[in-house]
Amino acid sequence: MAGPVVGVLALQGDVREHAHALRACGAEFVPVRREHELSEVDGLVLPGGESTTISRLLETFDLLVPLQKRLADGMPAYGSCAGMILLAREVLDGRPDQHQLGGLDITVRRNAFGRQVDSFEEDLEFAGVPGGPVRAVFIRAPWVESASPEVEVLATVPDVPGAGAAAGRIVAVRQGSMLATAFHPELTGDTRVHRLFVEMVRAAV
Q: Annotated catalytic residue: which of 17, 81, 99, 122?
A: 81
* Burial classification of residue 117, based on how many CB atoms lie within 10 Å of its CB (0-12 exposed, 13-18 middle, 19 or more buried): exposed
The active-site residue, picked from 18, 25, 99, 184, is: 184
Residue 81 falls in the annotated catalytic set: yes
The answer to whether 113 and 166 are in contact (CB under 8 A) is yes
Q: Which of 18, 25, 122, 186 is catalytic?
A: 186
What burial class does residue 2 get, using C-beta atoms within 10 Å of its C-beta: 0-12 exposed, 13-18 middle, 19+ buried? exposed
Distance CA 138, CA 84 (A): 13
End-to-end CA distance of the chain: 13
Q: Active-site residues: which are they?
A: 81, 184, 186
